[in-house]
Structure 1
Amino acid sequence: MGNFLRLMSCSCLLILTGCWDSLPIDERGFVIGSAIDMAGEIQDKNYDITVTHQFVVPGNLSNLSQSGGGGGDKKAFQNISATGQSPFQITRNMLSLTDLIPNSEHLKILIISDEVAREPDLFSSVTDSFIRDHEMRREVKVMITNGKAKDLLENESDTEQLPSRHINNIMENNIKSLELIQSVRVGTLHQYLLNDDSYVLPLITLSGKDINYNGAAIFAGKSDQQVGTLSNEEIKGLRLVKGDITNGMLPFHIDGELMIYEINTANSSIAINTANPEKMDISITINTEGFIAEMFGSRSLLDQQYINKIEKEISKKIEQTVNNTVKKAQQELGIDFFNFSSILRQKHYDVWKKIEKDWEDGEKLFSQSKVNVTAKAIVRDIGASDKAKDDGME
């Protein structure tokens, strides 16, 4: 009996001491968004950065929501900035600026200024602590801005109390747009950094009080340095190459009239012929299905020959869009942001090991590769009307 009581006492002690380091919720400072800016010029590879964390002020959330948005007297957030060379160290130094302990469990977004992103190896250095932080979820969205990153965390919305949550919601609303790249999470960014593959990240800008989510920042995989940007039209080409599209709008012209093709599904297949490693053949085949969402003119869509002509024009438009993006990658930047390198590594490993140092650098074999694009578009539905207007209405 004595042994049993001693065993129970030890068990109780273990249970009671399990949460010895827990903090009361009112002492935690929940960070919902973070921003990183350059604090000054880089000298001899030494730099200072400014990290801004957006803390939620829970006591003011209900007040603002009752007033219908961001027009309350008290803000539901507090932005705190500090400067140094290490985001981890800077965050620890913030303890002297607030009576709350920073907690990143609810972090939604990480915004980084392009001043930071354009410095070789600096981007990977400043994101390292966000990748390693055991408190942080792998779903945090990472994005680039061409202005001050912390300014975006100050931009209040009429419909949302927390600027970080407003930006996060904007990033989520890219489902039906072919011009927007999908959000990139910290977990995905970690894979990019490990593989040395070039990649793209979403680009957001602040124009007055409006946040524009368009364009993309291109990063060279070797240096993890931003080397350029993609326009909305070029993003369409990138996404069509990547495939796996479930929604997207593609405007095109036929017989001088504008028509809108709404993509329901799109997939792509990529084959690389490595017979001549110094001039590889990359074949991209893109198949889409969709419907006519809008049209101008009076031609009937019940005419199968006209539908066939429309499908050819859509296919031509897809090929032209993709070829323009490929041209940007090969001739202007020499950067394989399509991740053809990943296909080579997976399916032609022996060849890849021989040429990997010359893919984007050295002999620049990516730029010398021949890329062939073939598209086939299918129109499954013409909508509720077979034409935009009657001939007699003209």
Structure 2
Amino acid sequence: MQRKRRTYKIALIILILPLHLCGCWDYMDVEERGYVLGVAIDKSEEVILNDNNPEYMPLEATGEVYDFTIQIPVISRSQSKPYGQSGASAEKPRHWNLTIRATTFFEANRQYATRTDYPPFYSHLQAIVLSEDAAKGDIGKLLDMFLRDPEMRRRTKVFITPGKAKDVLEVIPKIDDYASQYLAKITRNAYKTSRLLHRTDLGKLSEAMHAKSSFVLPRVIATEDEIKDAGCAVFDNNKMVGWLDEIKTKYLKWISGYAKGGIVTLNMPGKEQYPIVLELRKLKTKQKPVVSGDSISMNLDIKAVMNIGEVSEVGFAHAEDDEYIHELEIVAEDLIKRQIESTIDFVKEKYGCDVFFFGRSMRRYEPETWEKVKDNWNEVFQNVKVNVNVMVQIKQLGLIK
């Protein structure tokens, strides 16, 4: 009998317990949140703001001053968009950009609460944009809250712009409603072109900073209604040291094995007026260090499967000629090899930092040597000889007659 009563009591507790657990302790209605889609960080200009300016905030501590801008969607305007109409309204933008001048983002974040009745909420953050001036300082301190706060997503994309970061968020896109979403979506086109970076979210950035390794972040520029994502910024010791153009960015991705797609354009000997476009379908990159005494070299083997995308020569007579296709593969291999070697030499001479993940390959294949050189790896990297071997296989010729 007592056993039955105990069973009933346990069953009753199990039934009652969910009534106390349902719901959420920090519950807030969806329409009461200020969903932050983008953040821009600019180095503050030497302009004195008075307390009548909403961007002004009295500072308690000394330090570098930045302009922090957040982008909040104006949901009511987006919902009122006429059927079939894309982009922002001609009368009013569908976003609200708020700027606060402060020494840290956390204090700026709390200061936003003095200007909006919707508390900022960052779980839907799409993009963080830093200006070149801000990125030349230690970006670790600027991104500390984003890496520390549990509300932030590790897949948020990070970008660098040579102009003002705030201007990127001011873009009124022709298709999307918000510049932040537009910017984050561009990275999905990495399978179309290797001239833009795509593995540049907060999670990857955090790994690089904690490993104290060099890294790259995508370069973006903006006009009134358009954003371009191509090229990249080079970072060493968490500070921006310069830029890589679009072509060097492409071959940086080939070297590191992160190219998902893209094209290579070349000319056959004696036919410089007829460019041929090859499309990358599959890429396999293998980095293998070779240690001989105090000497370190790196064998870089690249295998690429490509298609013929376009031929400018009218009446292309060699379309099904195996000998010509083989010659085309050799020309492509030579071009890619020269571009890769040029990219490596440029980074060595100009920046002297390893953005190709050679250090990671050393740690994997030569752990004992890596322990000896890891503390001054950038110096060692500049003297590493890289042996480049490229193999190109052209499989598809397209629909031809």
Please, what TM-score do these two structures have when normalized by structure 2? Answer: 0.88
- Which shows bigger deviation, 30-39 or 67-76? 67-76
Alignment match, 2:384: 369
Residue 201 of structure 1 and its aligned partner are, at CA, apart by 0.6
State the one-letter code of the partner of 2:121.
N
Q: Does 1:250 align with 2:276?
A: no
- The 3-state SS of whatever aligns with 2:155 is coil
Q: 2:95 aligns with which of 77, 83, 92?
A: 77
Residue 208 of structure 1 and its aligned partner are, at CA, apart by 4.9
Q: Which runs of 5+ in 2 are unaligned?
A: 47-61
Q: Cα deviations across residues 9-54 of structure 1 (Å, max 9, x unaligned)?
A: 97367336x534322223211111111111147xxx9201111111
Q: Distance in 2 between matches of 1:8 and 1:157?
A: 53
Residue 108 of structure 1 and its aligned partner are, at CA, apart by 0.6
Q: Distance in 2 between matches of 1:83 and 1:32?
A: 19
Q: Does 1:171 align with 2:187?
A: yes
- Which shows bigger deviation, 30-39 or 292-301? 292-301
In the TM superposition, 1:1-394 aligns within 5 A as: 4=9, 7=13, 11=17, 14-15=20-21, 19-40=24-45, 46-64=63-81, 66=83, 67-119=85-137, 121=138, 123-220=139-236, 223-255=237-269, 256=271, 257-277=274-294, 279-297=295-313, 298-360=316-378, 364-385=379-400
8 Å CA contact retained: 1:236, 1:322 = no
- Which shows bigger deviation, 230-239 or 206-215? 206-215
Q: Against the structure 1 CA distance between its residues 319 and 27, is the aligned structure 2 distance closer, same or farther, given a 3 Å change threshold?
A: same
- The 3-state SS of whatever aligns with 1:137 is coil
State the one-letter code of the partner of 1:242.
S
8 Å CA contact retained: 2:250, 2:259 = no
**RMSD across aligned C-alpha pairs, in angstroms?**
2.3
Q: Cα deviations across residues 249-295 of structure 1 (Å, max 9, x unaligned)?
A: 10011022311111111111111112233x31111011111111111
Q: Distance in 2 between matches of 1:264 and 1:12?
A: 53
Residue 4 of structure 1 and its aligned partner are, at CA, apart by 4.4
Residue 183 of structure 1 and its aligned partner are, at CA, apart by 4.1
Residue 7 of structure 1 and its aligned partner are, at CA, apart by 4.7
Q: Cα deviations across residues 44-80 of structure 1 (Å, max 9, x unaligned)?
A: x920111111111211112225343223534321111
Q: Distance in 1 between matches of 2:16 and 2:185?
A: 49
- The 3-state SS of whatever aligns with 2:143 is helix
Q: Cα deviations across residues 295-352 of structure 1 (Å, max 9, x unaligned)?
A: 1334412222111110100100110110111011112211110011111122222211
Alignment match, 2:53: none
8 Å CA contact retained: 2:190, 2:260 = no
Q: Distance in 1 between matches of 2:206 and 2:82?
A: 36
8 Å CA contact retained: 1:104, 1:136 = yes
- The 3-state SS of whatever aligns with 2:235 is strand
Report runs of 4+ in structure 1 exceeding 4 Å deviation: 1-10
Q: Which runs of 5+ in 1 are unaligned?
A: 387-394
- Which shows bigger deviation, 340-349 or 58-67? 58-67
Please, what TM-score do these two structures have when normalized by structure 1? Answer: 0.89
Q: Distance in 1 between matches of 2:81 and 2:32?
A: 22
Q: Cα deviations across residues 201-229 of structure 1 (Å, max 9, x unaligned)?
A: 11101245431211100011xx2001111
Q: Distance in 2 between matches of 1:70 and 1:184?
A: 28
- The 3-state SS of whatever aligns with 1:368 is coil
